[in-house]
Amino acid sequence: MKYYSTNRQSPVVSFKEAALRGQAPDKGLYFPERIPVINQQWLNNIRSIPKIELAYQIMQPYVGGDISAEQLYQIVTETIDFDFPLTQLEEDIYVLELFHGPTLAFKDVGARFMSRCLGYFSHDKTTKTTVLVATSGDTGGAVANGFLNVEGVEVIILYPAGKVSRVQELQLTTCGNNITAVRINGTFDDCQQIVKEAFMDQQLAERLQLTSANSINIARWLPQQLYYFLAMQQWPASQTAPVMAVPSGNLGNIAAGLLAKRSGLGMGNFIAACNINDSITDFLETGIHTSKQAVMTYSNAMDVGNPSNLIRILEMYQHNLSFIKSQVSSSTQTDEATIYAIQSVYENNKYILDPHAAVGYSALKQVLRKGGKGVLLATAHPVKFPEIVEKVIGTSIPIPESIKPLYTLSQQMIDMEASYECFKEWIWYRSGL
């Protein structure tokens, strides 16, 4: 498989090169030259295909010959080494729980896949790859955990002081080893700005092999398709295809779901469930992509003003707005609606939604008034957001066994002002440049 840049000013590259670069030199995003078509006979038996085999078959065409069959099998095995249960919440709503990975968020899948690919590609190299990433909370933890002890890869994570939850901060700062957390005295946008400047800095580029680990990177974006295959594996055979409600920010997850649908996986329409940061809504109405200043909400991982993966959705549907609208709608949910969803689902079903899944739930509820059934993608465990959730449900959230040790580990982070000059000086000396 070859990948082209959505800006079409950079050369076509292999999976390996696209994964190592992150973004194309012309600042476009990499996109596969063709979307693999899945054999429908094989898909008809999806319920009896072992999940590792399924994952291997889905990812193989995208990776091509860049990773050996045996290695890729190993990589997908480690990538989806936990459960993805689809549970019925209400008569017409099923929840796909994507939070059973090591950092309790769906981002674990992409981070694990990408880290193992980069580790594999770094084997034959003398220079280290440096992964630089800004996080509002979930990305950092998943990336830290995914890349911990991966040889040949150095990870630097920037996060805003005081703006991530306690569990999130612990996940970022307790890894040590090849993972360095930098606490920025500023906002997520400041962190993002520093990362952007670093990627544009020629002096750094000449000396460090820098790459991003957000959903811009195909090695993090593409494996997200697997959620949808795993959902449909568990979807009752007697039911018609479900509507898919996807809590959305950068639109990476939903774009991956649409890619799975384009390659033949039978699903109903998609809902991009957003908080008030809903650039996608404006886009679907006007066809014009404008970027907005992000506003803080309770579902902070979706506080994105300029969703980077929108361009990939456009590519998938040949930039045809009415085609896109026939597949995807958007729904905007306020913080009040988010609270209400957490509260009512807890009261009615004793089920605890995190604020992101709550946005998806409200959106799905509205759409299903017209009938049909749906799958809600629950993107994070509520224990990651106890500050809000516990206040709403009036009781404490049981802490999963898997993360209890976190609370006893010591934290390490570098404190830094929100300035690119400070960051550059630090990375320069630290890397011995």
Q: Minimum CB separation from ligand PLP for residue 251, in Å?
A: 5
Q: Minimum CB separation from ligand PLP for residue 93, in Å?
A: 17
Q: How far apart are CA 247 and CA 181, in angstroms?
A: 27
* Contacting positions for ligand PLP (CB under 6 A): 105, 107, 138, 215, 247-253, 301-302, 356, 379-380
Q: How far apart are CA 342 and CA 365, in angstroms?
A: 13
Q: Given the complex with ligand PLP, which of 76 and 380 has the nearer CB atom? A: 380
Q: Given the complex with ligand PLP, which of 119 and 247 has the nearer CB atom? A: 247
Of 374, 372, 373, 399, nearest in space to 385 by CA: 399
Q: What are the tokens at 210?
A: 């820098």
Q: Minimum CB separation from ligand PLP for residue 312, in Å?
A: 11
Q: Mark residue 321 as left, alpha or beta (left: phi above 0; alpha: psi -120 to 50; beta: remaining).
A: alpha
The crossing angle, in degrees rounded to 10, of helices 138-147 and 107-122 is 40
Q: Given the complex with ligand PLP, which of 210 and 304 has the nearer CB atom? A: 304
Q: Given the complex with ligand PLP, which of 46 and 80 has the nearer CB atom? A: 80
Q: How far apart are CA 342 and CA 275, in angstroms?
A: 14
Q: Minimum CB separation from ligand PLP for residue 424, in Å?
A: 27
Q: Given the complex with ligand PLP, which of 122 and 275 has the nearer CB atom? A: 275
Task: Check: CB of residue 298 under 8 Å from CB of residue 356.
Answer: no
Q: Minimum CB separation from ligand PLP for residue 286, in Å?
A: 20
Q: What are the tokens at 421?
A: 């000059």
Task: Annotate 200-227 with DSSP letters as a single string.
Answer: H-HHHHHH-EEEE-STTSHHHHGGGHHH
Q: Given the complex with ligand PLP, which of 72 and 364 has the nearer CB atom? A: 364
Q: How far apart are CA 266 and CA 259, in angstroms?
A: 11
Task: Check: CB of residue 39 under 8 Å from CB of residue 228.
Answer: no
Q: Minimum CB separation from ligand PLP for residue 330, in Å?
A: 12
Q: Given the complex with ligand PLP, which of 204 and 357 has the nearer CB atom? A: 357
Q: How far apart are CA 271 and CA 147, in angstroms?
A: 31
Q: Minimum CB separation from ligand PLP for residue 216, in Å?
A: 11
Q: Given the complex with ligand PLP, which of 301 and 345 has the nearer CB atom? A: 301
Q: How far apart are CA 23 and CA 14, in angstroms?
A: 13
Name, in order, each residue with C-beta under 8 angstroms of 34's C-beta and a sequence gap of 6 or more: 1
Q: Given the complex with ligand PLP, which of 204 and 345 has the nearer CB atom? A: 345
Q: Minimum CB separation from ligand PLP for residue 187, in Å?
A: 17
Name, in order, each residue with C-beta under 8 angstroms of 247's C-beta and a sequence gap of 6 or more: 253, 273, 299, 302, 356, 357, 359, 360, 377, 379
Q: Minimum CB separation from ligand PLP for residue 237, in Å?
A: 29
Of 355, 354, 307, nearest in space to 330 by CA: 307
